[in-house]
Amino acid sequence: MGTASDIKLIDENNIRLDGRGPDELRPIKIETNVLNRADGSSFIEWGGNKIMVAVYGPREAYPKHNQDINKAIVKARYNMAAFSVDERKRPGPDRRSVEISKVVSEALEAAIMVELFPRAQIDVFIEVLQADAGTRIAGLTAASVAVAAAGIPMRDMVVGCTAGKVGNKIVLDLSKEEDNFGQADLPMGILPKSDRVVLMQMDGDLSVEEFEQATSMIMKATKRIAQIQREALTKKYEIQQKEQGE
């Protein structure tokens, strides 16, 4: 969260700097099968975020001491390209990317039927090419589509979304300015069929009422995002069917 600022992030008519209302999402577009050599892949554009995901596996986990005899391990690696942000990002992992990789791995593991693949590993590479706030939840949303596109059995999809507090109001899907200068940011990952929460982090402070308002806004939005995920996967299936028919 940024420091106190004079920027007015939301006006008296509840209109935000980019023209959105409090519960409006930025535009979201997802494509699948964008990389030939991955088992599954996806590309998401969410507002100004552009993120590529490649999935490999399940394959035998290596080194062997990493293997779990009861289930597959899910290894997500979140990486931000040096050119993805305004100020060049130093290449390679940092504390933030290690943390995001961990929470995204855990969220995906809750959705994947890992018990079907003992001793295996599923690798999920999340490459942020352009960052515009909310990259962890956009990356998670795209990763879930790429895992499904790889044909890996899942209990449910994982949908990510954020809500937060700007100008003392609760709003959905924070923009870059709102993320930098707002009062709170709450990224969440949800399994939309059961509404189970598989990722939750919070930056800043929310009262209990504000937290409830933010989570209910996110829950509603996840249904819309899940529909976009389904459409991306159906499109992939239709293209495959057409190719097989030719």
> Residue 51: helix, strand or coil by DSSP?
strand
CB distance 41 to 53 below 8 Å: yes
Task: Return the DSSP state at 47.
Answer: T
Closer residue to ligand UDP, CB minimum distance, 58 or 187: 187
Q: Which stretch binds ligand UDP (CB under 6 A): 28-36, 115-123, 127-135, 146-154?
A: 127-135
* Minimum separation from the CB atom of position 84 to ligand UDP (A): 8
**Which residues sit opposite 120 in a β-bridge?**
60
Task: Return the DSSP state at 26.
Answer: P
182-241 positions binding ligand UDP, by CB under 6 A: 187
x/- binding map, residues 90-119, to ligand UDP, per CB under 6 A? ------x-----------------------
Closer residue to ligand UDP, CB minimum distance, 109 or 178: 178
Is residue 133 a contact point for ligand UDP (CB under 6 A)?
yes
Question: What is each CA distance from 60 to 63, 69, 73, 101, in whole angstroms?
Answer: 9, 11, 10, 20
Residue 228's nearest CA partner among 26, 18, 23 is 26
* Minimum separation from the CB atom of position 89 to ligand UDP (A): 5
* Minimum separation from the CB atom of position 123 to ligand UDP (A): 21
Can you tell me the distance from the alpha carbon of 154 to that of 221, in angstroms, rounded to the nearest whole number?
21
Is residue 178 a contact point for ligand UDP (CB under 6 A)?
no
CB distance 121 to 73 below 8 Å: yes
* Minimum separation from the CB atom of position 17 to ligand UDP (A): 15
* Minimum separation from the CB atom of position 163 to ligand UDP (A): 12
Indicate which single residue of 46, 179, 198, 210 sits in contact with ligand UDP (rule: CB under 6 A).
179
Indicate which single residue of 28, 176, 181, 210 sits in contact with ligand UDP (rule: CB under 6 A).
176
Is residue 85 a contact point for ligand UDP (CB under 6 A)?
yes
User: Strand 28-32's sheet: what is its strand order?
Assistant: 28-32, 40-46, 49-60, 120-130, 73-80
CB distance 2 to 164 below 8 Å: no
50, amino acid identity: K
Residue 81's nearest CA partner among 65, 100, 99, 97 is 97
Q: Which stretch binds ligand UDP (CB under 6 A): 58-66, 84-92, 115-123, 190-198?
A: 84-92
* Minimum separation from the CB atom of position 79 to ligand UDP (A): 11
Indicate which single residue of 136, 166, 229, 233 sits in contact with ligand UDP (rule: CB under 6 A).
136
Is residue 142 a contact point for ligand UDP (CB under 6 A)?
no
Question: What is each CA distance from 72 to 37, 119, 133, in whole angstroms?
Answer: 21, 6, 31
Contact footprint for ligand UDP (CB under 6 A) = 85-86, 89, 96, 131-136, 176, 179, 187
